[in-house]
Chain A
Amino acid sequence: SSAAEIDGAQLCIFDLRRGQQEGQELDKILFFHPADCPILLQLSVIGLCEGIITFTRIFSPEDDCEVIESDKHCHVFYQAEPDIWMVLVVQKIKDNESTLRFGALQGILKESHSLFAMFHGPIRTLLDRQPSAEFARGHLHTFVTDYLSDFSVGKKLQLPTYRDSLTERGTVQMLTVSREVALEVQSLTTVLGSCLRNVICQSIVLFEDLLVSTTLPLDDTLNLYTYAILRLTPSALSSNGNSWSYLRKGGYVNADTTLSSANGAAAAERYNSRSRDTSPGGQNQMHHNFRPLQREKLSKGKDGFVAADFATTEIRGAVPLNPILWFHQAEERMYLCVYQHKNLTILLVIPASSLINGEEGIAHVKRHLLENASQNIVTVEQKLSRGWGGENAYHVGGYRYILSDPNRKVSRASPPGKVITLSKDSLLALNRLRGEIDLEKSRAKRSDPTHDKDYEVCIRAKNNAWIIAKISRGKELYMAIEKGGETLLYASTAVEKFSNRYPN
């Protein structure tokens, strides 16, 4: 097809309810990456996708088409909202082994959409509000481009490959804390929750890049967590201003130094998000300059809160405002307020309706937080750092693993520094196995959606490593053991040992 002329990957978002008349096809397109792609080519890619979607519906009206693999390309589909599709087209590297895993690619689409929806609300709502789709396109353009900038190397997109087979997008990584510390954290959450007199504020507490506690439901926790990991935690912040790669790698160290230079006090940021319009109808999306994912604009304040500095070109000038979030379950818009103390990041979520005059209200909440919670925050931070085993805290000698619970959206994996010691063969085999299991899972789900099926697979890779997948009661464990024994018995006892140690 003609798409072959384009290097690397394409990502498009289109709405099947739009532009259904001949000659208006352009209206379908909501987003296309790369943006400089010729319109005709964009149309042909989207036309092909639409064709595939329609065609596969004949056979499977219930389930959406998920992936189409052709000789040179792989199309990954994701129906983000009814009739709004996101498609990722990836060029295949000429290699015998498949290096991509469709599940991982679809994870990107899901993640970008749910983050977008968190900040701007569902795409459909935007389109309904403004049928010309100007805002929707504008926001999608800035947001998804900012999102993709994480993946871009030069002009190309570096999408997850087999090397990332021990990671799982769309899961939260938890910090394991002792009961005593957990209670201490909980008492902090209580204080945080009472920042507004009449309404309980929700909060998420992170330590380093790990989740410590949350009061939000699963989906919202996941979205906020993802956002925090991408942009807000100390290590993310340190790479915000300067995108030199070596700085990114030493994230932990740098976070410490930058923060201690700011009096060891908390770094503050604030998002400058929307117009001054404080009526409940005022929203992020009415403001073109709201770009929560734009790294460069995130800067540190001094009062302990997170601040961003957008909108310098705007007539209004910089209006420091907090973004409004849309949550799945609460159905209410929320302000986000971020506070940081050393390695502790606190995301405070304040119901927008409870603040009569937005900005002042937020300032009041912040003051309240500083007055009442500071002591707790310092204690919790101390306790957490004392118990923190460092970057390799969850390393298990001899194993390279990922343990994930898709139901609870939680995962834990070997630290990245340890995973890269695996050989290419092991990783490829692992990637392949995960792909197979993904298929098997979706098949089982189709036949009996309520019943979890247990699997256990051990395979011997080319390099004699054991690659193991075990799913039991909905929890998934994938691991690679390179220096293992010869027998299958060895592999299965190794898994047994591991599972006994980590029953979760």
Chain B
Amino acid sequence: MPTMDPNRKKSKPVDLVDSVDSRVELTESTRSCPFPDEVLERVLSLIDSHKDRSSVSLVCKDWYNAERWSRRHVFIGNCYSVSPEIVAARFPRIRSVTLKGKPRFSDFNLVPEDWGADVHPWLSVFSSAYPFLEELRLKRMAVSDESLEFLATSFHGFKALSLLSCDGFSTDGLKAIASHCKNLTELDIQENGIDDLGGHWLSCFPESQTSLEVLNFASLNSEVSFDALEKLVSRCKSLRVLKLNRNISLDQLQKLLLHCPQLMELGTGTFMQELISGPVTEFKNMFSNCRKLVTVSGLWDATPLYLPVIYPVCASLTFLNLSYATLQSSELANLLFHCRSLRRLWLLDTVGDKGLEAVGSCCPLLEELRVFPADPFDQEIFLGVTESGFVSVSRGCPKLRHVLYFCRQMTNAAVATIARNCPDFTHFRLCIMNPGQPDYLTKEPMDEAFGAIVKTCTKLQRLAVSGLLTDRTFEYIGQHAKNMETLSVAFAGNSDLGMECVLKGCPKLRKLEIRDCPFGNAALLSGLTKYESMRSLWMSACNVTMNACRMLAKEKPRLNVEVMRDEEGSDDSQAHKVYVYRSVAGPRRDAPPFVLTL
């Protein structure tokens, strides 16, 4: 029996909703939909996917309204595409917000500080529109300690905070969260530009805090009070994700694990300890009670003597993140021998091709592989992984869907083989670390490699290309990559034709990020009709001029065309960094002086 919600039509939490309410009244009398609102809302409340919800809202006015009122979670992929006021007006009952800010290349220092994406204006609006807000997940946003304090004190039922790749705050902000959020279930701090002023924040969790389910402070450097941590872990009986930082020693980890046998995801601290007595015997049973563990990460400083400590849990692991451990091939092989259920594996390239052979032979269920470079800036080390390692994995792991691979050499033939072995790729990111490097055997461009990928892997959604590439690569992409949504290009192409092919040929393209390519004004303007159907376009160090950008801005008023000025201001007609995105909020009002909105 659907429950009546008497408050639904009467309450007006925000004045902006008034206009929408009157529309509701109108449609009631001219109703074509046979279901009462409550039934429709109840049904629609079961729909989670934001894409499905967007579709639902387009059916008719009734469905639009029912969707509005039943939605609990909103996902905003570009914080400047919409304003917080518009969001609050349309969706009155939000409990959970995911918000992304800066362009992705800011992760690689291509976006100056103070560019924007400040979360505070959003929090201000939310504090009155969504006083019952429970979850906030931020990616690449600028977050200050004041904002964190404001968050902690304005939303009394607040439960989950996730900060990924954000910057502008310090551990003082975390203190506020720990102290004030009485119902906190999740605190997930990852890869942020955070000012680490010490580990005292963890001691700010009061003794009444027993609801934590997720605690991730692996990327913080300073030491927390172990005593406070141990007490916290022992009273939070629902803790299922615990990711420690490197300062936590092995014997401290052992003590912690005694308190949380229900743990599902563990990030260890340092995995090596100088001991006088036999180390392995002491830690041999550390994991014997962890029967629910499916993810292990951390493992800093792990050496062959200590890795066997985790063997007892390996059989049930589905995700193993070894990207902080400098393992050699034999250590990895010995470890993977026990890990037959792995679906996701992250590695450092210290394991070499031999290590990857072990991946191929031990992990037939593997779906995701990421291989990071241990020494990205040293060109002349004859280490790391090559095409041969990648091919070995593809042979043994036909279910591979998601790959990120950093290497120093590659061949077209190898990639073609890989594509044949793994036709189900949805995410393919290959980074040949030397820009513009050809097939090292044939000396030809790597066009055929990516051609093979787009031809064979029809489900491809995300692609990142590298190596020496001509316009041919982009012709292939335009012709075949019909499901591709995200494309990253660097140091590639010959002429405007390359970019034009992609813009013309890829119907599902949403994000295009380009750096250091010879694409110019004709290429930029060829996408005139395309950009409104995309989330964003980034072009830096290409051949685009200010005039072309102005033209784009003039023709398409619903796009924000932003140009970032070069610091030296060498040539005013060149547009060094261009960021184009669709927006219903108009040009942003918080742009710093070096960002010019045309």
Pairing of A with B: no
